[in-house]
Amino acid sequence: MASPLTFSWKSKLLSVLLCCLAVHAAIELNVDDDASIRNAAATAAYGLQSWYNGNQTGGVLGKFPYPPFYWWLSGAVWGGMVEYQQYTGDESYFNVTYEALVSQISPTYNYLPIAEKFDEGNDDVAFWAFGAMSAAEYGWPEPPEPYPTWVGVCDNVFNDFVARWYFANDTCGGGLKWQIFESSAGYTYKNSISNGGFFQLAARLYRHTGNETYYEWAKEVWNWSTTLGFIADTGNGYVVYDGAAEPLNCTEFDHTLWSYNLGVYLHGTAVLANVTNNESNNWTAQTIGLLDGVRYFISPFSNATNIMYEQACATRWNCNVDQFSFKAYLSRWMAQTSILVPSTAEKVRQILRTSAEAAVKTCVDGDDGVVCGARWYLGAWDGTLGVGQSLSVLEVIYNLLVR
């Protein structure tokens, strides 16, 4: 296991600002050469892991430091690291990833650690469950006793989602709330990423186990999302709106488009298209509709064709710490879609190739490893750095190997 270095994220920023403003890109990448892709991904992975201090004195096992990085983002990183190992073959981070995913399993054998009560939304839990689900899909060693299997942990998360769906069933015709606890801001908001997380987890559990209960719930969440209007067909690709206020019975939407909202449903429909052979709901057509909607997250300018960007915030220069990571999940879930629904592969690969070539140009050398920017279309570092930026670059690189 590579040993991440001790750091202060503020000193990391200062060191990069002082030393690296004028240097060339720190990651070399030939998108037509698998060895180059693996080398570039390894460099990006080391840079990402240099942010982690959970296995050092003063850190919390499984967690990247807060502030500024919330609990959910740690789960998202470890899910990405499971995928990274699967497609690159690099086992350098197996121990730290396995340890992290196990460390946050709660005494109720799900992902509800008491220490994170005020930062646990349904979407946050889903991202930790995605990592556990990937561990199950790729045959990782099971968690140690007394914990259940990875599938058992995911099943517990699934059953929690079902119970919370029924609890909130008196408004909006169903749906998960954003937050789990009434004390959390956003408790009266129902959003796409929480319900999309439920949908994707149910779809993947169904594909992995064959249990029809998971499929029935995947259909329930999809039908609710489309009937309510969270997912809409524009005639030029699907859009997935952020959410709606529960006190207004979800009659007024927040129409903001975020890439991970679309991506989370995309992977779910692709899983169902693969496993059901389109017996119902025409899952391939739904997958194509969502993939067409990726157009809203690529090509910000005429000279930046097929480069991914976060259209709600990137060009306005007001993305927050979480939003810097969203392109990571769109890359991951598009790549998975290209395997599950092969007719999508050419389009996905074109976007990933162009985006990866642009993304590595935003990376520069820092004291503790490579750091990367967020605005890939600039062709140079944009002055930002963090876990989300590093994760996004890592995922767009290694997903070139998903084929």
In this structure, are strands 253-257 and 363-366 parallel, antiparallel, or unpaired? unpaired
> Is pLDDT above 90 for 264?
yes
Q: Which residues pair with 179 in a beta bridge?
A: 121
Is residue 1 domain-resident?
no
Give the pLDDT band (50/70/90) at residue 1. very low
Q: Is residue 147 a contact partner of residue 95, using CB atoms and an 8 Å limit?
A: no
Residue 19 is predicted with a pLDDT of 54
Instruction: Decide if 395 contacts 80 (C-beta within 8 A).
Output: yes
CB atoms within 10 A of CB 223: 12
Tell whether 382 is covered by a domain.
yes
Question: Is residue 3 one of the residues assigned to a domain?
Answer: no
CA distance 141 to 173: 40
What is residue 10's predicted lDDT score, i.e. its pLDDT?
57
Identify whether the C-beta of residue 131 lies closer than 8 Å to the C-beta of residue 75.
Answer: yes
Q: Which residues is 244 bridged to in the sheet?
A: 190, 253
Is the per-residue pLDDT at 170 higher than 50?
yes
Residue 185 is part of a domain; what is its CATH number? 1.50.10.20
Q: Is 190 a member of any domain?
A: yes
pLDDT of residue 167: 92
Q: Do the domain assignments include residue 2?
A: no
pLDDT at 5 over 60: no
For residue 17, pLDDT beyond 80 = no
pLDDT band at 389 (very low <50, low <70, confident <90, very high): very high
- Maximum pairwise Cα distance, the chain: 58
pLDDT score, position 6: 40
pLDDT value at residue 368: 84
With cut-offs at 50, 70 and 90, classify the pLDDT of residue 268.
Answer: very high
Average pLDDT over residues 52-77: 96
Long-range contacts of 162-165 (CB under 8 A, 24+ apart): 162/217, 164/122, 165/198
62: left (phi over 0), alpha (psi -120 to 50) or beta: left
Going by C-beta distance under 8 Å and a sequence separation of 6 or more, which residues neighbour residue 246?
Answer: 168, 171, 172, 177, 188, 189, 190
Mean pLDDT within 356-373:
94
User: What does pTM read for this prediction?
Assistant: 0.94
Q: Give the Cα separation of 26 and 8 in Å (integer).
A: 21
How many domains, the chain? 1
Q: Residue 269 falls within a domain, yes or no?
A: yes
Average pLDDT, the chain: 94
Query: Position 265: which residue type?
Result: Y
Does 324 have pLDDT greater than 90? Answer: yes
How many degrees, rounded to 5, is the angle at CA 245 between CA 243 and CA 246?
A: 115
> Is residue 178 one of the residues assigned to a domain?
yes
For 146, the domain range is: 9-401
Tens digits of per-residue pLDDT, 118-131? Answer: 889 999 999 999 99
Distances (CA, A) of 391 to 6, 198, 323, 360, 387: 19, 23, 12, 12, 6
